[in-house]
Amino acid sequence: MKTGESFKKVKYKVAAFYNFLSILDKDIFLLKEELSELAKNNGVKGTILIATEGINGTVCGPEKAIIHFIEFLKQLLKISDINVKYSWTEKQAFRRFKARKKKEIVTIGLKQINPIKSVGKYIKADEWNEFLEDPDSVVIDTRNEYEIKIGNFAGALNPHTSSFREFPAWVQKHLKPLIEQNPSLKIGMYCTGGIRCEKATSYLIEEGFSDVYHLEGGILKYLEDVTPEKSLWDGECFVFDQRVSLDHALSPGSHTMCHACGLPISPEDLKKPTYIKGLQCEACVNKFTDSDRARFAERQRQIDEIMKRLPENSIWPVS
């Protein structure tokens, strides 16, 4: 992991945060306006989702600006603490700032699920290894297939979902029969920053499951608190910004992103004959029309031109 001194040499701080709390519908517009103004005045970029069930976002900017932003956010929400994880980057991780009103801050598509009312038991990052190695536990990765592909905890169940909306169907088809056959199993779940697995525990409790747990702060908190020597994490962690993935030091990893389909690309993927920069990767080689490809090619030409003229720009380059 990086030391405090080496972090000071990195220009931008990234804060990933969420909180399930009741927000009145009439207050959402005000929150959007206040946060947008704050971000504009302090050089902060990122994406924030606000719903009546809470707030979820990731922002990036100079360290002092991010600290101020999080403190101001807590004041707006009238809360003393917020679930936040920090990481670092040499270039701005976002292209703009967006604050959006949503029906859910993480979409499971079921109105009756209420994490404000009930969630599973939290497991601290430094206690997660013990849970992983417990033979009486089953661990589930609640992220999407493309995220799991680039990094995971060995032995965790992969629901093979392409979106969080598919998780309930997987539970009914696969997890419910497993627990019926092994009723003494403890269920543990994890995700990137803790929000999906927390909402997943609320769903399981609603469905009558007991002994439900989740990794507090998600993978990001685990990478922050657990040293590489003791870590059971394998690979990199996908993040939803221009960095694409983070290594164990919470620094940008080795993956880039396909500009055509938006999926992560490994260094090995770049060497495959199906890969054409900005136009296609192996995952999307048969997904687009010739007119799409022509449009992607023109976009990539413009990106290459900008990167050539402004090699020191603060925007993370796109593959």
Contact 151, 244 (CB under 8 A): no
Residue range 189-208, pLDDT digits in tens = 999 999 999 999 999 999 99
Q: What pLDDT is stored for residue 313 in this prediction?
A: 56
Catalytic residue among 60, 191, 237, 281: 191
Q: What pLDDT is stored for residue 108 in this prediction?
A: 97
What backbone torsions phi and psi does residue 214 show, to the nearest 5 degrees? -150, 150
Q: How, if at all, do strands 45-51 and 54-61 pair?
A: antiparallel
Rounded distance between C-alpha atoms, residue 264 and residue 242, angstroms: 11
Rounded distance between C-alpha atoms, residue 78 and residue 208, angstroms: 33
For range 62-69, the mean pLDDT: 97
Q: What is the percent of the chain where pLDDT is above 90? A: 90
Confidence band, pLDDT 50/70/90 cuts, at residue 174: very high
Q: Domains of the chain (ranges plus CATH)? A: 4-101 (3.30.70.100), 121-234 (3.40.250.10), 258-319 (no CATH)
pTM across the whole model: 0.91
**Of all residues in the chain, what percent are helix, strand and coil, respectively (each to 5)?**
35, 25, 40
For range 97-107, the mean pLDDT: 97
Rounded distance between C-alpha atoms, residue 266 and residue 98, angstroms: 28
Residue 191 designated active-site: yes
Residue range 209-222, pLDDT digits in tens = 999 999 999 999 99
Confidence band, pLDDT 50/70/90 cuts, at residue 304: confident
